[in-house]
Structures are given as C-alpha cells and as structure tokens.
Structure 1
C-alpha cells in the first residue's frame, strides 16, 4: 500500500528547520503541494536576514514537486491566516497543517523573564491555535482535513529549565484533543507527534558536563528525517481513523504516549477532613504517585 497525497495541499510551519524540512520534502515526495513556512530567524527569535524556506522549495521543485515559500509569522492571527491563504492562493485548497514552528528560551523558572515566557508561548501554543483556526473553516466546509501538531516529552514528562516550553507543549496536546472533539463531526482529525531528533532546537543543549555530553551524543544519533514518515501517514487517508492520539518518534522507534486517566481513587461516606486526607487518602494514593522524573529518566534507553 503506497501512501499517496496527490491532489492535496499541506502547510508545514517551521519548514526550513531540520524536522520541518524533512517533513516538507517527504510530503512533496508523496505527491502533496507544500507551503513551506519559515520566518528565517535564529533559535532565540533574532532575524537571520534570509529566506531559508526558499532553499527547501528549490529542493522540492528540483525533484519535480510543487511548493511555495512563505515567511509570515504564525505567532499572530493575521500572519497565520496569511500562511493558510498562501495554500489557497497557490494550490486552491488546504488539506493538512503541520504545526512545527518553534523557538526556545531556556531558563530556570525562578529566573525566567516575562519576555522569555511570552515569546515561547506565542510561537508554540498561540501559533498552533492561529494556524489551526485559520484552516478550520476550510476543513469544515470540505468535511476533511488533518491537523498534525508537534508536542514534546518536555511537556508530557518534564524537563529542567523549560517552564515556558513545557507549558506550551502540554497545552498543544490539550488543544489537539479539543480540536479533535470539535471537528470529529466534519471528518477532521487532530494528532500530536513528540519528535526526538537532532535539530537547531536540540543544538542548543548544554555540553558542560559528562552527563550533558552523553545526552547530546544520544540526540545526534536521531536523524530529523525519521520524523517525516509518521507526519506523512497522519496527513493521509490511511489515517482517517486515527484521531486525538499522541505519538513519540525516536530514530526507528514509534511510541504511543499515555494520556491522563484516573489511576486510583478513595472514598468515604462521611466526607473528608484535612486530617482524614492525611491519615487515609494520601497513604492509599501514594503508591500511584509519579516520581519527579525528567524526560531522559523515563525514556532512558539508547535509540534504535
């Protein structure tokens, strides 16, 4: 069975970075027409003075595919709607959006500034909403469409120095679930991918200690192009019954991630007092407590 995206148009935000580039090229290889969106700034949001999306478009066109570049910012309502308009103006339709644009402003929570908080939330969470909201009326009218959002185990599990990024990425999961619930009646689906890959995002990881250098070495084994097959599948008709799921992709490994469900419960007919909570409820619930793990503690084995 060959995945065929012929006749479909997709938007890939952050399409000039390592992961986005791989996804954009793979989408075009599968037959889709692609809007490669990238504003061409550094990881921290500074202007790079170029249009890196053009390079991806040239690569796609050289292989016989269809693509256009777009440099509007996903972090504003107007910019995001212009990104969607680029698909409609150039290809006459929109069938999938891949919310991949990202930025990092790592800082320990107790030192994080308002700007460091806002800039990351604006791109990851607000940007995901704005792009998705821009595509939603078209998906609704044609009664088809796929939302593919990039989350992170920093939000799903946890990480040091990333309160802004973790909050945004876990927010993306909740947003995806809400989109799935609201759009299911129109045959529109919404899923998340938590990618593990060496990219400009992970390129900023510190390497001051032996533990940090080992972590970076593990990441360097994870090729960014390995994320693309799952994204292409989720954009295809073969994924029509896959909705509201969270996948992690790590080298040649695909994981289905858990979602919040009750683990244990306690009940008393008389109602609870603070003392009864301390004496009875917490001891009964404590075996189900999660340790204060980071992502690397939970997914600790070498990539395959």
Structure 2
C-alpha cells in the first residue's frame, strides 16, 4: 500500500534546510499541500531570512506540488497563529504538523548561560507547544490530526554539553504522552521522531564517513510513516542512515517493602530486586503507576482495594 497525503495540508517548521526541507519535499511529492516555515536564522538562532523557505517552495512548485512560505518564529505565539491562519486562508484545513525547528547553544552546564538555556527551551519546547496549540482546535473540529514532535538522543540518553537541548527534547516527550490521551477521541495522533542526521547542527561532531551516511533523506521516511492515516500513536521512532528503531520508557516491576523496611536502608538492601529489569513494562498513563504501587501495598498489607 502506497502512503499518500492527497487533500491533506501540512505545516513543517524549520523547513528551509536539512531535515525540515527533506520532510516538506517528500510530503509534497506524496500529495500534501505544505507550509514551508523557516525563520532563516543561523544554527544558533541569530538572523532571519525568507530566502531558504522561498527556495523550497520553488522546488516543490517546479515538481508540480503546492507550497507556501512562512517566516514565523516558532517561539512567538502571535507569529505562529498568523502562520496557521495563512494555511487556513489558503487551503481551509491543517492535517499534519511536523515540529522540526531548532537551534543549538552547546556548552557545558558550568559554562552555559541561563539566557542561552531559556532560548533553546523557548525554541524547541515552547516552539513545539506554540505550533501544536495553534493547530489543536482545528484538528479537533476536523476530527483528524497527525502531529510529530522532534526529540533527540540528547534528551532520551544525554549528551555532553547539551543540558539545555536535552531538557527541551525530553520535554516534548512529556507533552506527547498527554496529548495522545487528550487527542485520541478526535483521531489526533501524536508521535516523536528521534533523528540522527548530518545537518548544520551535527557538522563537525561526527566522523566524515559516518556524516556522509547520515543524510536527512534517510530520516524522512520515519516522519512520513508517523503522519500517515494509519500511523501509530505515542511512539518514539528513531531514524538515521536508513536504520530505524523504537525507544521506550519502561518501569521495573519493583517491590513493596514492609513498613519497617520503608527506609533508605531498606531500599538499599532490596535494590537488586527494585531495579531488576525482569517484568518491566511500558506504562501508558501516569495513573497506571499509582495503581501498580497501591496494588502491591494492598497485597503486602493483606487488604482489599474496592
């Protein structure tokens, strides 16, 4: 079955270059009408120019597709609202949102400034919040929406010098987990992409031969899958160099400690069992943890929970 997006309208942020450009071009090739959002700034977020976005629009139009350019700064909600209005005025709907825009201000936590930290969080986390918020009611009314947030191995696993970036990239996972629950009855699916690509943001960080394998075009199929009608939801799909995997947050089964052992010493004594991966599970909502803990306690205390 060929995945297509005929009749669908997509917004791709940070689509002037790199990953975003690749995502936008492929969505258009498969029938989507695309808003090419790009502030046109440098990797660190300074400067602005519409040239990159206009070039992508021209490329899509030359191939027979439909696209418009927009220079909204995703960190500014009023600009994002205007971008979504432009999409609605032009095509009357918004079906797909790919939150891709980002900047880097890499420094160790000791050397980095709070201003830089806030700026990175503003673009990656609040930028994702702003764009999603501006599209959310439209998608609810349509009873259709496909949203991708862009996370990173830096958020999922950590990366030296990227406390600001990692914090923002893990933040979008928390956002996704709840939006999935709130959007389910409206046929809104929300997923996360964890890309590894050779872009302006990774240049100089990776060996040249490996860098050459990490093309944006090898990541884009993951996005195309995550915004398809039959997409999964609440999935963290990792992609790079043509390899794909799923990252999951799991919780160990753990154990209940009797009241006299509910001490730091008791936890230390039973640490092997508390931290054992045997029986670990992916939880689908926060309350599942509460139910698990209270069930274990009730069993240990010999009481019934009605």
Query: TM-score, normalization: structure 2?
Result: 0.86
Question: 2:164 is matched with which residue?
Answer: 164
Question: 1:282 is matched with which residue?
Answer: 271
Aligned-residue offset at 1:204: 5.2
Q: Which structure exhibits the higher relative contact order, with contacts defined as CA atoms closer than 8 Å and separated by 6 or more residues?
A: 1
Unpaired stretches in structure 2, ≥5 consecutive residues? 278-306
1:33-182 to structure 2, matched below 5 A, reads 33-182=33-182
**How many residue pairs are counted as aligned between the two chains?**
277
SS of the residue 1:237 aligns to: coil
Question: 1:224 is matched with which residue?
Answer: 216
Question: Do the aligned partners of 2:16 and 2:37 also contact (CA within 8 Å) in 1?
Answer: yes
Aligned-residue offset at 1:269: 4.2
CA distance, structure 2, for counterparts of residue 19 and residue 10 of structure 1: 15
CA distance, structure 1, for counterparts of residue 59 and residue 226 of structure 2: 23
CA distance, structure 1, for counterparts of residue 189 and residue 35 of structure 2: 20
Question: Do the aligned partners of 2:252 and 2:275 also contact (CA within 8 Å) in 1?
Answer: no
RMSD: 1.6
Using a 3 Å threshold, how does the CA distance of structure 1 residues 49 and 187 change in structure 2: closer, same or farther?
closer
Question: Do the aligned partners of 1:197 and 1:220 also contact (CA within 8 Å) in 2?
Answer: no
Question: 2:28 is matched with which residue?
Answer: 28
More off after superposition, 37-46 vs 216-225: 216-225
Question: Do the aligned partners of 1:39 and 1:51 also contact (CA within 8 Å) in 2?
Answer: no
Aligned-residue offset at 1:262: 2.6
SS of the residue 1:238 aligns to: coil
Within the candidate set 225, 230, 233, 1:243 is matched to 233
Question: Do the aligned partners of 1:199 and 1:224 also contact (CA within 8 Å) in 2?
Answer: yes
CA distance, structure 2, for counterparts of residue 128 and residue 121 of structure 1: 10
CA distance, structure 1, for counterparts of residue 48 and residue 125 of structure 2: 23
Question: Do the aligned partners of 1:51 and 1:71 also contact (CA within 8 Å) in 2?
Answer: no
CA distance, structure 1, for counterparts of residue 251 and residue 88 of structure 2: 40
Using a 3 Å threshold, how does the CA distance of structure 1 residues 204 and 87 change in structure 2: closer, same or farther?
farther
Using a 3 Å threshold, how does the CA distance of structure 1 residues 287 and 259 change in structure 2: closer, same or farther?
closer
SS of the residue 2:73 aligns to: coil
Query: TM-score, normalization: structure 1?
Result: 0.87
